[in-house]
Structure 1
Amino acid sequence: MPTDASARFRLVVVAEALRLFAEKGYEATSVDEIAEAAGISRRTFFRQFRAKEDVVFADHEILLSQAADFLAGEHDDPWDAVREAAVLIFDGFSNWRDITQRRYGVVHEVPALRDREIVTIFRYERLFTDYLRRSLPDEPDLVLVQFAATVTATHNYLLRRMARDGSRTTTRELRDVLGSIGHGWRTASDDNMVVAVFPRDMSSRRVAELVQRKLDAQ
């Protein structure tokens, strides 16, 4: 849970807003009703949020900020840092499971919110990609983009499953899945031998697939 008082306050408002959206519908719920349910004034609401739409994704803003702060620290392995940032984000949503599940239902009923969700998800991917570009300037850009996109997509798949089906994926399970995501591989060969170098965390199944593909191409 966030330790910042402002973040905790925003989550209270988010929880009440999503409860009202689920009960009454997004369009039928007014800012005044949200403010009353959260025990704040209309003016206080607009000091924290520009519009109703911002309330729906306020927890995303909190987690994006936390992930950015995490990546701004010192890390021995940038690839692992991105994985851990994804785990941090997932852990936040898991702690706020009620909010996550209610938003899933609300967003899928309102096209404008679905569009906003797509933009918000891309911000995680861009955060990861920009970090990798700064940390690994000599790596091919396509490798960095693919890795960031894969980590983001894996995280989002498990998050949607949790929100939609109530799946209880743990952060340890998420780490295991993310650990199987490789970030590039190289092979060298002559007529009788193939020498391959893979990331340590690449799964044995993926290694076998890539070696077989290389052999088939000979």
Structure 2
Amino acid sequence: MPDDTDRFRLQVVSEALRLFAEKGYEATTVDEIAEAAGISRRTFFRQFRAKEDVVFADHEILLEQAAAFLDAEHEDPWAAVCEAAMIVFERFSHWRDVASRRYAVVHEVPALRDREIVTGFRYERLFVDYLRARLPDEQDLTMVQFAAAVTATHNYLLRRMVRDGAATTSTELRSALAALRRDIDRRGGRDGAGDDMVVAVFPRGTAPRQVADLLQRRLELGGL
């Protein structure tokens, strides 16, 4: 959860985005942001290098939190990357109003759109660097592709939520990321995907149709 410093930064972000929406990004000054947030100009510059940094301050908080999570020990590095993406998504779900206002502002300012692209890439780079450190024998292309897919999936569902107002849930993202994780096992031959035989045991006299229905349901759930 955000600490006191992060909550302070988010308060400034919220006031800045409100002003940007009302007056326009270029027309809003640092002094106006500081006054709206109830802080001095000097305090503002202790936390932010420039007005542009305010727009993406919540991303900086979440990048730090994702990095801290990945620094801990995890049994499955692939799953850890997925969980880090979940942390980011769930935080943005709590900060949905801020994320929606930022989208509206960024959409109007080309320089901010460029900054957003770079910020998104920083998550992907964080995931790649983590996987390279934890899985030195894994193919580099596989790790790059996985990190890119996780980031793209997260961003797609997040944009649906903040841009389109879709009722996107963390469950939807978790399901999509789990599919990416299973694909890694299939590509690495770790889930028996290459096996040609399935063995199942049923009581004598079970009707063939019932056998078929039970097998289908179990396979759809992920195996026997």
Q: Distance in 1 between matches of 2:150 and 2:6?
A: 26
Q: Distance in 2 between matches of 1:121 and 1:167?
A: 21
What is the Cα deviation at residue 11 of structure 1? 0.1
What is the Cα deviation at residue 127 of structure 1? 0.3
* Structure 2 match to 1:185: 187
Q: Distance in 1 between matches of 2:19 and 2:71?
A: 37
Q: Taking structure 2 as the reference length, what is the TM-score of the superposition?
A: 0.82
Q: Distance in 2 between matches of 1:124 and 1:168?
A: 24
How many residue pairs get matched?
193
Q: Flag structure 2 segments of 5+ consecutive residues without an equivalent.
A: 196-218
Q: Distance in 1 between matches of 2:76 and 2:61?
A: 25
Q: Which amino acid aligns with 1:58?
A: A
Q: Which amino acid aligns with 1:23?
A: E
Matched, 1:121 2:120: yes
* Structure 2 match to 1:215: none
Q: Distance in 2 between matches of 1:102 and 1:134?
A: 36
Matched, 1:196 2:198: no
What is the Cα deviation at residue 186 of structure 1? 5.3
* Structure 2 match to 1:46: 45
Q: Distance in 2 between matches of 1:21 and 1:73?
A: 38
* Structure 2 match to 1:191: none
* Structure 2 match to 1:100: 99
Q: Within 5 Å, which residues of 2 pair with 1:7-156?
A: 7-156=6-155
- SS state at 1:29 partner: coil
Deviates more, 1:176-185 or 1:62-71: 176-185
Q: Taking structure 1 as the reference length, what is the TM-score of the superposition?
A: 0.85
Q: Which amino acid aligns with 1:135?
A: R
Q: Distance in 2 between matches of 1:165 and 1:19?
A: 19
Q: Is the 8 A contact 1:186 1:196 kept in 2?
A: no
* Structure 1 match to 2:172: 173
- SS state at 1:108 partner: helix
Q: What's the CA shift string for 1:110-153, capped at 9, x where partnerless?
A: 00000000100000000000000011111100000000000000
Q: Which amino acid aligns with 1:185?
A: R
- SS state at 2:108 partner: coil
- SS state at 1:36 partner: helix
Judging changes above 3 Å, is the alpha-carbon distance between structure 1 residues 78 and 186 closer, same or farther for their aligned structure 2 residues?
closer
Q: Is the 8 A contact 1:16 1:37 kept in 2?
A: yes
What is the Cα deviation at residue 35 of structure 1? 0.4
* Percent of residue pairs identical: 73
What is the Cα deviation at residue 171 of structure 1? 1.5
* Structure 2 match to 1:160: 159
Structure 1 runs of 4+ with >2 Å offset: none
What is the Cα deviation at residue 168 of structure 1? 2.3
Question: What is the root-mean-square deviation of aligned Cα atoms in Å?
Answer: 1.9
